[in-house]
Structure 1
Amino acid sequence: MNRSTRRTFLSTAMAVGVAGLAFSCAAAAQDAYPTRPITIIVPHAPGGAVDSTARLFADKLKDELKQSVVVENRAGASGMIGAAYVARAEPDGYTLYFNASIHAINPLLYKKDVKFDAVKDFTPISMLAQGALIFSVNPKVPARNAQEMAALLKSDPAKYTFVTSGFGSAGHLGAAQFLYDVKMAGDIPIVLYKGAAPALQDLVGGQVSAMMDPMLSSLPFVKAGKLRALAVTGHDRSPLLPDVPTMRESGFKDFEFYSWYGLWSPAKVPAPIVSKLEAASARIMASPDVKERLASLGFESAYKNSADFAKYIDSEMARYQKIIDAAHITVE
């Protein structure tokens, strides 16, 4: 072997060795994950349904992974500020993202404004929970069920308004679906509020008439008699409101609507890390105390692994697009 050939051989061997060492180090780091605190980005303000479920999950994830897990709120722009931050984060498993179904709705509404791809820029790790909405009205509204509410809207549309806690939220699309089903889409305004608290305040005060909203925020007002629940939007009645029928029972046979919650990471997070988080999520959501706590908030465990969650997101986005098109929901 001449000197030139020997030099080439040694250079190649060194490169292969370095590459192999780098691969071994990367694999070891993935096996050891996590070795430092994890941050879960919640793209909404503290205290709401997303934040509450995220903090419950984060507390359990800390125990599962034996590592500190911090929830960081990055609210604004219907959750898109926090989502954009995660989309740009290092795909190392130390920045995660917890959001509701609005993550799959935003790109269908804000086509020109979204600075990320809600599918391609994220890895869905696990779907975790879901919660039916309460269809409630101010007690002065003379409707006792969803069919009576539909009749009222048709008889005097100028008298009634719906309210939503956020543009593009599950409650917004649920209300839009109902108005479309009763052929009143476009005739009854859906007033946009920034958050559940001010929306519920005006609903209780009678400034607006009706709302679809997660149980976590609406249930206390129903229990206190400040709102009247007409129906729930899940497949089954809620144990928290056993006397309130579902929309299906109320004559809307195809009406089923949930706000669902899941965990994502930035795209291209190594598969071993995704698998570790996926397995931890499965154990957490199967825990009896987590199920009990979720039930007390009006949610239920609805775990799906990464592959099934990705398929579910695709199917939900297709369904949401149909509602948006049918109800002519546009960003003004």
Structure 2
Amino acid sequence: MFRRSLLAAGAGLILARPGLAQGGWPNRPIRMIVPYTPGAATDAMARLAALKLQEKLGVTVVVENRPGANGAIGSQAVLQAPADGYTIMGSASIHPMARYVMKAAPYDPVTDFIPVARTARGPLVLVMNPRLPAAAIPQVVAAAKAEPAKWTFATSSLGSAGHLGSIEFNRMTGANIEIVGYRGSAPALTDVAAGNAQLMFDPVLATLPMIRGGQLRGLGIATAQRTPLAPDLPTMAESGLPGFEFYSWYGVWAARTTPREIVDRMNRAIVDAMREPAVVERLTGLGFEPVAETVPELERFIAEDVARNAELLRIANFQPE
């Protein structure tokens, strides 16, 4: 499995010692902080970015998981380090939403950070505990409306794509299923598989293996067309939710005051990596779409994405915690 090999390669980053570049940046190891737990899509995509930066820049890139406080612990660690390009962050679409989901966010994810590059995006899959009798989304909606106390959505973190997808599901169906935040995808998916929560939206990378293994039941994928990876999995539109498309996307950030020439150099390295045929083949084989953008293009995309998601939270009357 690419996911296992990717994580194994990422673990090896700490041990690898390629020759350092002579003079200028970078001339010593780079630390990439991941503000979430190991093993899920955000961690795997961050390790892919770290691996490719290491190959392109010729220095060690050490991945460090610093979970907690809805991503704030790891994010603050990046801002507390010198803004010299030697401490960066690998995160996901949840990062720019911090000020909307935390009551007193200790930083502004847009003005305090600069996005270096996106790596890829992956669609969300709606999964359910396999022991529940409902077999399709209309049955889930009917059961949840009839006995709302028996249904909860797990989500990897407040502000994540899965959280936003859950809000949109409730809005479109009128089900009003309670949404419970977790500290990462792994514990949330584990609780769904165990029956402690009933439903979850999470990226394809983590959900499809568990669907194939029987730990979860797949109900729908949030894409316009079915995926060749799971052709029997209907789209959300086919299940009565027209236009329901949600993706989690992944990227690299640095402190806003990091020299622009360093940010641009990292951007070029990641963009080049995302265009490599082997990387494209591996990512698309897992249902991901590689992304290649300049920093200004990425900043425009984030502004639009944040505006859409903030409006969704407003409509849902979401109150930051």
TM-score class, shorter-chain normalisation, is 0.7 to 0.9
Answer yes or no: is 1:182 the counterpart of 2:155. Answer: no
Residue segments in structure 1 that go unaligned for 5+ positions in a row? 1-28
Shift of 1:296: 4.4
Q: CA RMSD in A?
A: 2.1
Answer yes or no: is 1:97 the counterpart of 2:86. Answer: no
Distance 2:181 2:22 in 1: 44
Moved over 4 A (4+): none
Distance 1:200 1:174 in 2: 15
Shift of 1:100: 0.5
1:119 to 86, 90, 110: 110
Answer yes or no: is 1:234 the counterpart of 2:226. Answer: no
Partner of 1:58: 50
Which AA in structure 2 matches 1:160?
W
Distance 2:224 2:249 in 1: 14
Partner of 1:87: 79
Residues 1:33 and 1:189: Cα distance change in structure 2 (over 3 Å): same
Distance 2:71 2:292 in 1: 22
Query: Secondary structure in 2 aligned to 1:118?
Result: coil
Q: 53-62 or 153-162, which moves further after superposition?
A: 153-162
Distance 2:28 2:38 in 1: 24
1:132 to 123, 129, 142: 123
How do 1:281-320 residues align onto structure 2 when only pairs under 5 Å count?
281-320=270-309
State which structure, 1 or 2, has the greater radius of gyration over its C-alpha atoms: 1
How do 1:158-307 residues align onto structure 2 when only pairs under 5 Å count?
158-185=149-176, 188-307=177-296
Whether the aligned pair in 1 keeps the contact of 2:122 and 2:248 (CA below 8 Å) is: yes
Shift of 1:31: 8.6
Distance 1:231 1:248 in 2: 9
Query: Secondary structure in 2 aligned to 1:62?
Result: helix
2:136 to 145, 157, 169: 145
Residue segments in structure 2 that go unaligned for 5+ positions in a row? 1-20
Q: 144-153 or 225-234, which moves further after superposition?
A: 144-153
> Quick check: which one's helix share is greater?
1
Identity, in percent, stands at: 44
Distance 1:275 1:195 in 2: 30
Whether the aligned pair in 2 keeps the contact of 1:30 and 1:272 (CA below 8 Å) is: no
Distance 1:31 1:249 in 2: 57
Count residues in correspondence: 301
Whether the aligned pair in 2 keeps the contact of 1:165 and 1:196 (CA below 8 Å) is: yes
Distance 2:110 2:26 in 1: 25
Distance 1:303 1:46 in 2: 25
Shift of 1:212: 0.8
Partner of 1:69: 61
TM-score, normalised by the number of residues in structure 1 = 0.84
Shift of 1:286: 0.7
